[in-house]
Chain A
Amino acid sequence: MNKRNLDILSDFSILYIEDEPELLKHTATVLEDFVKNIFAVASCKEALKVLEENKIDAIIIDINLKNENGIEFLKELKFEKDYDLPSIVTTAYTDTEYLLDAIKLKVEDYIVKPINIKELLNSLHDLFLPIVQEREINRSYNTIKTISAVTDGKKVELIKFIIKNLDEKSMFNYSYGDIMEMVDVSKPTVIKLFRELSEKGILTKIQNKRYLFNENNLPKPSED
């Protein structure tokens, strides 16, 4: 769990706002290896311009900017400009002056300087993970739907029923009769599928009306 898959960051564009040029430069240099695009700017004005011209997925912003305040800029974006982007704030202070505001703004993370790049990357990962997962779910769903469109529809219905009715111990507690009653399939189809799954070690019969669904024996989906 500690070791995050930072590869997921490579799909996202990030806007980074920091008034200290050296830090901006070097942090951007590190981040550019992980993300799709890094837009590193020194002021809110430049940041607005970037936002208008590019699709941005997340914002990293320093609170104490020269003559500006990062929290105020985030408020402005959220409530006036209608940009609802996930954001991470960085600050040189450990004080909690802006913490409350940050929480109210639903800021994803509050990073105290000096920046630990691992911490920042992990934050970004945690921020993007739900998005990536949602996309993955969508994709899987679409895959299943596509498969069911081109193959035997009854089998797919039956597999859906099995997975849907697994208990917390991945046990499936139904007899053939129950299945046929609930899903409109013929008995030979059920028996054939159960045998197939049993052969592949996916569904093992423990006793009568009790089957174990073994997730680990599922074949890996081909990456392409």
Chain B
Amino acid sequence: MKSLFSVLNQKLTTIKFANKTKILIFTIFGGTLLIGFLMFISIFALKYDFEVLFVNLTKPQVKLEEIKDIYQVNIKETLSAIKNHQISSSEGKEVLSLAQQIIKKQWREYKKETNTKVGGLPEFASNWLDFFLLKSDKPKKSEFKNRIISNVEKKIKSIDKKITGIISQLNKQNQIKQLIDNTILETNSINIYLSTLITNNLKLAISKKEGNDRLFNTSTLMLVFLISLSFIFIVLVSITIINHFKVLHYSLEENVNRKTKELSDLNISLESRVKKEVENSRKKDNIMFQQARLASMGEVLHNIAHQWRQPLGTLMMIVQSFETKYEKGKLDEKFITSSVNDALKLGKSMSDTLDDFRNFFMPNRAKQIFDVKKAINKATELSRYQLEKMDIKLDFSQKTTAKIYGFKNELIHVILNLINNSKDVLALNTELKEKKILIITKQTNTKIIISVIDNGGGIKDDIIAKIFDPYFTTKHKSMGTGIGLYMSKQLVERHMKGKIFCKNIKHKFGSQKFYDSAMFSVELPIKESGT
């Protein structure tokens, strides 16, 4: 048994978890159904046996007893009384006929009751169970019983006849004496028959009871067997499922532990990676700023180169003029004084240009209060040459008197970037006849908005959201690095605590026509408003 159990257990452990639960459910369901069915069958079968026992075998005995009593008391006693003349003939006649009727009725009822079929569900259950238990058909009523019954019937008839004879010859005392004695004898014999019948019936009942016991035992055994089988199976499956759960639990726990460890490891590595990425991004930003600085440096350098070229040419001319004047003998004091003055002036202006450049690109990290107007003028000055070259007219309203606290160079840089951005857009627009950039300022008590507007047609809707993204550029590679506007945004938002935004507007630029225009605005908090 134990080995079987272990084999079964082993088999079960090999089955999949889902199948195990299915087996468990199936077993519980099937077992319960089977047991319930069997129980119902047994109960109904028992009920049937009981009914048969009671209705067919027990109840009719009462009738037989009554018949027996009637024969014993009414008929036999009455006949004795008639014989001994203890009652009148009429009285006897009445009693006898009454007794006859009662007997007939009782006998009829007896026969009827013994033949009553129980029927219905109990009989069906009993039959089914009999079939199931391979029991042979119910035993036929024994020959013996049948003969007794026929004898009883014969006796009843003969007694009946004799009593009828007695009744009809009641007046002839002597003649019936013999008859009465016969009848009494018959009565005794019928009573013996009846007793035998009762005994027989009781024996039958006893035997039936034995069958019933057997049935009960068998069903009980089967139920017990089924219940214990289901129980064992359920327990078995449950145990394996629990085992499965246990295994699952341990593996899950292990999994969770492993994953937790992995997660914490990942967390640690993520932290370092985030740190690294942040550093990288800072580095990238720095590189980008450097690139942007270089880009605008290039433009400004170009501008300065041009601003240098003219005074340099003049200066060289002055130097050469000394030689020619000397050769011509015209090198007088007047000429020398005026030429030297001019040369010095030119040298000073060149030096100033260099200072502008140096001031603009030296990493001047000291915050200061400065004039917005001057900063904007410086930016326009630095981009003047490029704009002139592309035939772009730049106007600045010069209205503001605001001063802000911060890095002057950064504001110049931002304005320069915006001008350059407009310039690049205008440069691409070949159809436009008059290319214009307008710088206007709007000032309140707490802030100043500097707007750079160009009539280059505005920004397309699909890119307007991306325009401040790093490395976003609509221009050809040779023209833009894509970081001018990004850097401007960073400078404005981080260093100046301001805002930068752009939108498309329509502007007249002082003419009759409305131009589609892009407007970039920088909003900055102001320190004080000069008078």
Contact = CB atoms under 8 A, between A and B. Distances in A.
Chains A and B belong together in one complex: yes
Given A22-B346, A33-B325, A118 B320 contact: yes
Interface stretch (A23-31, A162-170, A187-195, A214-222): A23-31
Interface stretch (B40-48, B309-317, B492-500, B502-510): B309-317
B342 A26 contact: yes
Given A30-B324, A33-B328, A22 B309 contact: no
Interface in B315-333: 316-318, 320-321, 323-325, 328, 330
B258 to A, nearest CB: 72
Of the candidates B311, B316, B323, B339, the one having the most CB atoms from chain A within 10 angstroms of its own CB is: B316
Contacts of B342: 22, 25-26
Interface string A1-44: 00000000000000000001011011101100110000000000
B339 A113 contact: no
A92 interface: yes
The main secondary structure of chain A at its interface with chain B is: helix
Chain B: number of interface residues, binned into ranges: 20 to 34
Interface in B295-315: 309-314
Interface string A101-115: 000000000000111
A92 B325 CA distance: 25
Interface string A123-162: 0000000000000000000000000000000000000000
Nearest to B389: A64
A114 B312 contact: yes
A48 interface: no
A135 B190 CA distance: 196
B312 A26 contact: no
A30 B328 CA distance: 10
B321 A117 contact: yes
B122 to A, nearest CB: 124
Given A22-B346, A23-B310, A92-B309, A114 B316 contact: yes
B313 A20 contact: yes
Interface residues of A, number: 18
A182 B109 CA distance: 199
The main secondary structure of chain B at its interface with chain A is: helix
A115 B328 contact: no
B310 A117 contact: no
A30 B314 contact: no
A197 to B, nearest CB: 41
Given A20-B310, A22-B346, A115 B330 contact: no
B162 to A, nearest CB: 167
B310 A30 contact: no
B324 A20 contact: no
Nearest to A116: B320
Contact of B311 (A22, A30, A116): A22
Nearest to B346: A22
A116 B339 CA distance: 17
Of the candidates A20, A27, A29, A115, the one having the most CB atoms from chain B within 10 angstroms of its own CB is: A29
A115 B317 contact: yes
Nearest to B311: A22
Given A92-B309, A113-B309, A114-B312, A23 B317 contact: yes
A20 B310 CA distance: 7
Interface in A189-218: none
A89 B353 CA distance: 28
Of the candidates B310, B335, B342, the one having the most CB atoms from chain A within 10 angstroms of its own CB is: B310
Nearest to A31: B324
A113 B317 CA distance: 10
Contacts of B314: 20, 22-23, 26
Given A20-B314, A30-B320, A30-B325, 10 more contacts: A20-B310, A20-B313, A25-B342, A27-B317, A29-B321, A92-B310, A92-B313, A114-B316, A115-B316, A118-B320
28 contacts: A20-B310, A20-B314, A22-B311, A22-B342, A22-B346, A23-B313, A23-B314, A23-B317, A26-B317, A26-B339, A27-B317, A29-B321, A29-B339, A30-B317, A30-B325, A33-B328, A33-B330, A34-B324, A92-B309, A113-B309, A114-B317, A115-B313, A115-B316, A116-B316, A117-B323, A117-B324, A118-B320, A121-B324
